[in-house]
Chains A and B, each alone.
Chain A
Amino acid sequence: MENPFFENRLNINRRHFLGKLGFGIGGAALGSLLVPDLFKKGSGEIDEIPLGLKHFASKAKRVIYLFQNGAPSQLESFDYKPMLNKMFGEDLPASIRMGQRLTGMTSNQEKFPLVGSKFAFNQYGQSGTWVSELFPNIARVVDDICVVKSVHTEAINHDPALTFLQTGAQQGNRPSMGAWLSYGLGSENKNLPAFCVLLSRGKGNGQGVYSKLWTNGFLESIHQGVQFSSGEDPILYLNNPEGTDMKSRKKMLDQLAELNELGYQEFGDPEIHAKIKQYEMAYRMQTAVPEITDLSKEPDHIIKLYGSDCLVPGTYAANCLLARKLSEAGVRFVQLYHQGWDQHGNLVGEMPLQAKDVDRASAALITDLKQRGLLDETLVIWGGEFGRTNYCQGALTDKNYGRDHHPRCFSIWMAGGGIKPGITYGETDEFGYNIIKDPVHVHDLHATILHLMGLNHEKLTFKHLGRRFRLTDVHGKIVDGILG
């Protein structure tokens, strides 16, 4: 080691430091401080549990997050508000709005005419969960899911809201949820990235997604989400260049690793080791990925289950099927984004198309995981970044309307790994505007997701710029009511 001091500085982080200190001069003192609690049940001290291991036993091992990007209306999906139909066209009472800030799109609107769902609602399953007619297939699996009607957020525009839901902060550059899980639990299958991202786009008015949503932030770059593309090569640049076979590829990579190791000797930057590891994983991915993206062995009725769209790469249905295959192969966190849910106008025209894109495949994913015995190990989450207003944006007609952004309440559903199935949690008022029971803040949702994965959200920290960061920052309460 040419520059041990330099290397030391680069490699020191809190855990390293404590870990080394534990064997050093402070060992005796520190040891006696830590050890008694380490072996004692119930003291709840898990500071020293090494990374890559759960903090406590839990059912869920993997997450599939079906992100509905653009924010689907809760009022046309899971939050049934007949009152809004009765009050069609009437102004939203100020006593309900209570000074809620508005987006630039409706802030100069003179009136806020209430509008109810154009689409009929019915109760389904033994649980009697209300679901709109736009989601007939999800309605069939309601007894396997838990609808949460009382999620609320702080942001009112897409980018901050999306960033908040993904990273726990509105400003960006913090690690995404998937990166935190990769950091906290490591990878189950070392031949695939622990965090994969799949994109699709519906016909509705859409909002962009960008790589900052699946960033590793300040965590090691190995935790970054890997985006799969819809083309013939799901992972870009994974195939060998023409004329190169596996053997010479391996030889080349080995040589490269040696060179990189020399670089590490000189600079001591741990990112160099991360890079070496990534090359090695990419090499193994060359065998692992084709096994997963090959749909030819899927039986015909799987295609029927997900809908024949699942054969068209880049569709939501295809991504759901791929998500199941990745998750089955041990990928810790699969993140889907389906764009096109931003119905400011023409909700009546666009929402059925969006719903058609996702309804069958989302329900299929639940059924498919269940029939393989994987549902209790996999946490599935479906939802957008905020809700939509109970009043119309723009012109309200008998035939059509639009809805603006609404941060105070929205509906999501969760299923599988440790979630209580067949329940509805939380309630909004009869205007569908404010939460009246069991609010679930985005931080609470994060805390609960980590909890279901066996991690204590207060203990999963990373020290950066002089402070310990968490996904839940200094907030977050576990939502016990939805735990199975």
Chain B
Amino acid sequence: MEKVEKVVSNLVLFLLSLLTLLLLFEDYVQVPVWLQPFGRMHPLMLHFPIVLVVALVLLQLFKKHLDPSSFEKINKFSLYLAAITTSLTTLMGFLLSHEESTISDLMQLHKWFGVLINYLIYFLILVYNRRVFYKILLYTGLIVLIFTGHFGAGLTHGTGFLTEPIMKNRKSEITEESALFEGFVQPILLSKCEGCHNEQKKKGGLNMSSWPEILKGGENGPIWIAGDPDSSEMIRRSLLPMEHDDHMPPEGKPQLTASELRLLKNWIRAGAGEHMSLADLSPNDSLYQLVTDRLASLQKQDDLPKYDFKHADEELVASLNNPYRTIKQESPGSPALDVNIYVRQAFKLEYLTELKKIREQIVFLNLAYMPIIDENIEVISSFPNLQKLNLNHTDITGKTLNLLSSCEKLKSLAISGTDVDIEILEALKSFSAIEEIFVWNTVLTSDEFDQMRDALPGVSIYQGYSADSESPLQLSPPVLKNKKQMISNDEDVVLQHNLSNVTIRYTLDGSEPDSVTSQIFEKPFQLESYVTVKAKSYKENWLASEVASYVLFTKGFQPLKSHLIETPNEKYRGNGAESLIDKEKGDINKFIEKHWLGYKDSPFSALVDFGENPPNVDEIVLSCGKRMSSYIMLPTRIEVWGGEKKEELKLLKQIVPNQPTTYEPNSEEALSISIAQSNFRYYKIVAHPMKRLPDWHSGKGDLGWVFVDELFFY
């Protein structure tokens, strides 16, 4: 062991002498290229002496607690290792410093402090056995080491590196009046360039720490040419491909973002003056836009909520998320968490109690509709940073609400639709930060709301909508439950209304239902022929509904065949003649569909054939569409012809339907033509479109359309 000690201390002495020699003849030293990598290992090596010297100090401090013989071994080993690595580090640093063209003051300081440590360490070996000297030297060494390290960090990271985060908060207010350079350009240069181009470390001879220094430029001259960004060195370099040696900032360092680059370019284009400000620019200038955008985003950051609690463990948050409980970070970088719990049937109390694991981070909690009871409030009261709590439609009664006074940040509380009463006022008074309370749909009366507002000045209390103040409203009309207008033989017709205790009255003869004589709908009924059902709904304290009108068809007599004498317009041919007797009704809102046949230039004219055994028919119904805004009107005249032979038909009846005198809503109309009971084999039905739309119509004078979807025979 002693032999090793000797070798090592001699080695250290040798390295120290070498260093001293080099320092003495520094001006003549030329570092060969092959040695440069050795020098560049300085930033790697320097960590060893730092750690080892600190370890030596710690060993000294805890000496008493260590077994003396092992202390001796460890201490000595660390000391020798520290000595060797220190010597190597210093030598490397010396070589590295010679790569720079100029040596800044900071670098000088770093260098001489480094050398000093080297000597101190060697002396430590020499005085190892003299306790007091050793201790004094060691502690001095530690202090020198701290300074050396700090100066070194200043070289690589910039002088303000350590204090930057603190200083940043005290940065001067940037406002619209700020000079653009100071407010917007310099911050970019400081964050992205100044690390290598500063007072101490003038890479390429360039110092970007202040306006006069920037103007001096570097080895390659000025970094910008006012008014000409494309020829400016700084812009040119930042636009070079990343692999290019001249690209700035160098590969591996934080790059300029697109918007920063845009700002720099535009600022140079605008003249790059030191005191130029927003006022000098026209609002249409793109620089003006860029700057105002930045200003806006700066202001927004000031508005961001600030929290003084720590982030929750990411894995913990992830494990607490499940299909019924969503926990999300409020925004990136924020420690605050939003918690939502959904689906009442799936609720388990653990979903709430487990949240205690992240009790500090919860700022928003939504428990609406969950079976939360008074006892569960205690869990919530342990969330100290809770700001917004939604307990709408939970099962609480408010008795334990006072517990929430321990949530000192609680600003917003929603307890609408719960069983709370005026007793909660005492609890609410104890909430120190409360700003808004939502208590709609509770037993609270208007007087009690006033009482609350008096007791809680400055707090918004949302009473919400109550129907009392309003005059009676109109009910919605009854709804036909049957989905299709075609009613099969034994099908029940059902009218319904979703509100409870509504009376439905109806007629089947086309007259308006009234509240006294018309039949009350009590049970489903069945149909024999086609009818128009008109129905209204009535309820106490409500106005009667409008009339709902439904035309219902039964199947009637089914012809064997149908034939179109006139072809429909080529756009609206439906399924041809088959459409008329397929018992499929159309919807005029979808008049392009295959149920509809459309006629404009020629009348609708169709022949049906009942075959060998024709039925006794006394009523024919033509189902037409009415969609006036699309020029689809009712026919002006309908003719019904009948006979035993196709060629020998006689006119049985013709009718002129009532025409509307103004616009009416879209509808399907059943136009009924009664005839003397007859049992012809053939019937021909003709319907004439409107020749001239009336004056009140936006298409006045134009041709109208006739749309037919079905023919019925009863």
The interface on chain B, measured as residues whose beta carbon lies within 8 A of the other chain's beta carbons, has a size of 76
One of A11-19, A80-88, A216-224, A345-353 contacting the partner:
A345-353
Note all chain B residues with C-beta closer than 8 A to A350. 629, 663, 665
- A266 close to B (CB within 8 Å): no
The listed residue with most A CB atoms (<10 A of its CB), out of B344, B412, B542, B666, is B666
Stretch in contact with the other chain, from A162-170, A250-258, A297-305, A441-449: A297-305
Interchain CB contact under 8 A, A373 and B465: no
Contact with B along A326-339 (1 / 0, CB 8 A): 00111000000000
A400 nearest in chain B by CB position: B696
Instruction: Compute how far the CA of A395 lies from the CA of B700 in the bound complex, rounded to whole angstroms.
Output: 7
Report the count of interface residues on A (CB-CB < 8 A): 80
The CA-CA distance from A46 to B257 in the complex, in Å, is: 11
Check B252 against A303 for contact (C-beta < 8 Å): no
A473 contacts partner chain B, Cβ-Cβ < 8 Å: no
**With A42-B297, A190-B323, A373-B414 as given contacts, are A399 and B662 in contact (CB-CB < 8 Å)?**
yes
A42 and B301 within 8 A (CB): yes
> Are B305 and A206 in contact, with the CB atoms below 8 A?
no
| Pairwise interchain contact A372-B345, C-beta atoms closer than 8 A | no
Query: Which of B332, B465, B629 touches A205 (beta carbons < 8 Å)?
Result: B629
Complexed CA–CA distance, A274 and B589 (Å): 37
Verify B331–A54 contact, CB threshold 8 A.
yes
The answer on a CB contact under 8 Å between A46 and B662 is: no
Interchain nearest-CB distance for B590 vs A (Å): 8
Nearest opposing residue in chain A for B589, CB measure: A206
Q: A44-B259, A188-B326, A371-B464 are in contact. Are A308 and B474 (CB under 8 A)?
A: yes
Which A residues touch B467, using CB under 8 A? 300-301, 304-305
Whether B257 lies near A45 (C-beta < 8 A) is yes
Docked-complex contact A53 and B698, CB < 8 angstroms: no
Known contacts A32-B252, A308-B499, A399-B662: does B696 contact A46 (CB below 8 Å)?
no
Which single residue of chain A is at the shortest CB-CB distance from B436?
A373
Q: A311-B498, A349-B663 are in contact. Are A394 and B298 (CB under 8 A)?
A: no
State the total of A-B contacts with C-beta under 8 angstroms: 201
> A304, B630: Cβ atoms under 8 Å?
no
Nearest-neighbour CB distance to chain A for B585, whole angstroms, equals 17
- With beta carbons under 8 angstroms apart, the residue of A33, A42, A288, A371 that contacts B416 is A371
Tell me whether B441 is interfacial, beta carbon within 8 Å. yes
Minimal beta-carbon separation of B171 from chain A (angstroms): 11
Question: What is the minimal beta-carbon distance from A325 to any residue of chain B, in angstroms?
Answer: 10
Chain A min CB distance to B588 (Å): 11
- Contact among B252, B369, B416 for A29, CB-based, below 8 A: B252
Q: Is the CB of B254 within 8 A of A57?
A: no
* A53/B498 contact (C-beta < 8 A), A349-B664, A395-B698 known: no
Whether A346 touches B252, Cβ cut-off 8 Å, given contacts A189-B326, A305-B467, A371-B462, is: no
Instruction: Chain B residues near A374: list those with CB within 8 A.
Output: 390, 414
Interface residues of B in 402-416 (CB under 8 A from A): 412, 414, 416
- Digit string of B416-459 for contact with A (CB within 8 Å is 1, else 0)? 11000000000000000000101011000000000000000000
Q: Judging by beta carbons under 8 Å apart, are B331 and A57 in contact? A: yes
Given contacts A191-B343, A371-B438, A372-B416, contact A37 B254 (CB under 8 A): yes
Asked whether B342 lies within 8 Å of A189 as measured between CB atoms, the reply is: yes
> Known: A308-B499, A346-B663. Contact between A400 and B698, CB under 8 A?
yes
Instruction: Given A287-B345, A328-B368, A400-B698, answer yes or no on A191-B323 (Cβ-Cβ < 8 Å).
Output: yes
| A-B contact sample (11 more), CB < 8 A, given A291-B343, A343-B629, A345-B663 | A29-B252, A53-B331, A54-B331, A56-B300, A201-B589, A205-B627, A308-B499, A367-B465, A372-B414, A394-B700, A400-B698
**Residues of A with Cβ closer than 8 Å to B?**
29, 32-33, 36-37, 39-46, 49, 52-58, 187-192, 201, 203-206, 284, 287-288, 291, 295, 299-301, 303-305, 307-309, 311-312, 315, 328-330, 342-346, 348-350, 353, 364, 367-368, 370-374, 392-395, 397, 399-402, 454, 480
Binding site for A on B (CB under 8 A): 191, 251-255, 257, 259, 296-298, 300-301, 304-305, 323-324, 326, 328-334, 340, 342-346, 368-369, 390, 392, 412, 414, 416-417, 436, 438, 440-441, 462-467, 470, 473-476, 479, 497-499, 542, 545, 589, 627-630, 662-666, 695-700
